[in-house]
Amino acid sequence: MSDHRARLDLSHDGRVARVRLTAPKANILDRAMIADLDRICDSLTQHDDLVAIVVEAEGPNFSYGASVEEHLPGQIEAVLAELHQLLGRFLELPAPTVAAIRGACLGGGLELVLACDLILAEEGATLGQPEIRLAVFPPAASALLPARIGAGPASELILTGASWTGKRAAELGLVARTAPDGTLDQALEAWLADDFLERSPAALRQAVRATRRTVRRVLAQELPELERQYVDELMREPDAVEGIRAFLEKRPPSWQSGGSES
């Protein structure tokens, strides 16, 4: 078990499942992490008495995102397929999913969070999709962000690589609740007590089936085409490979598609 990068715990007499990323401080969402989360999803299907599933992380950051090394040609095809399958599985979990975020929640880490029903974030947390800086784009976020907060704010994150604080993300409707920095755990426990622990598991199970319909439809209809675009079109662009290699080699990229060197 020590080599696992995520684990499942139960709390509140088994009514709350806690899915924890356990590879701090970055909690990189690599293939090993994805496999652990997929295994946890299998386990969660056996629990019909849950009132909440908390998705959280050990350490100072939720996740720095996906493994950049795994985004090179020859690996990215499998990585995207596995990640996108995992997001679909999150939408089939039997209770409301609540992502609890402190520190950085970036790239693939934010895409994982976007597959959750509700987000609680510390006010100073950092949420962003920085992929454009590496000359790529986030397929899952490109599908899920517009569905959750509209095209305008989604475009700001995806096209500029900007990051939002938890407070700003709440103002734009992405984050449901915020907590002062350093108080995430207390805020989470208060929210569980106020809105979940006394609810009917059966009613919550039916309610999330109803409220996920739009997101599930977007994921099923839009994400396969975005994944195809990424693999078949984007990854044939020299700049995409250059951006990834430059990041790994810790040097400025040299774009081939026009413009000056960055």
Homologous superfamily of the 6-184 domain (CATH): 2-enoyl-CoA Hydratase; Chain A, domain 1 (3.90.226.10)
Return phi, psi of residue 252, to 5°: -65, 145
Mean pLDDT along residues 44-65: 96
**Residue at token pair 């100073």:** 124
**Residue at token pair 């597959």:** 115
On the question of pLDDT at 262 being above 60, the answer is no
Q: Cβ–Cβ contacts within 10 Å for residue 49, how many?
A: 12
Contact 126/103 with Cβ under 8 angstroms? Answer: yes
**What is the pLDDT, as a whole number, of residue 260?**
43
**What is the pLDDT, as a whole number, of residue 229?**
98
Q: Which tokens go with 258?
A: 């026009």
**What is the pLDDT, as a whole number, of residue 4?**
85
Mean pLDDT along residues 241-257: 95
On the question of pLDDT at 237 being above 60, the answer is yes
**What is the pLDDT, as a whole number, of residue 246?**
96
Task: Tell me the per-residue pLDDT of 193-203, one tens digit each, with 9 for 90 and over.
Answer: 999 999 999 99
Q: What is the mean pLDDT of the chain?
A: 95
Mean pLDDT along residues 30-47: 96
How many Cα atoms sit within 13 Å of 125 on the Cβ side? 36
Rounded to whole angstroms, how far apart are CA atoms 41 and 60? 24
Question: What pLDDT band is residue 258 in, cutting at 50, 70 and 90?
Answer: low
Which residue(s) pair with 105 in the sheet?
Answer: 63, 127
Task: Tell me the per-residue pLDDT of 181-195, one tens digit each, with 9 for 90 and over.
Answer: 999 999 999 999 999
How many Cα atoms sit within 13 Å of 13 on the Cβ side? 4
Burial class (CB in 10 A: 0-12, 13-18, 19+), 40: buried
Which residue(s) pair with 252 in the sheet?
Answer: none
Mean pLDDT along residues 104-112: 98
User: Domain spans of the chain?
Assistant: 6-184
**Residue at token pair 């454009």:** 132
**Residue at token pair 């938890």:** 166
E strand spans, 12-110: 16-21, 52-57, 97-101, 104-106
Mean pLDDT along residues 97-102: 98
End-to-end CA distance of the chain: 43
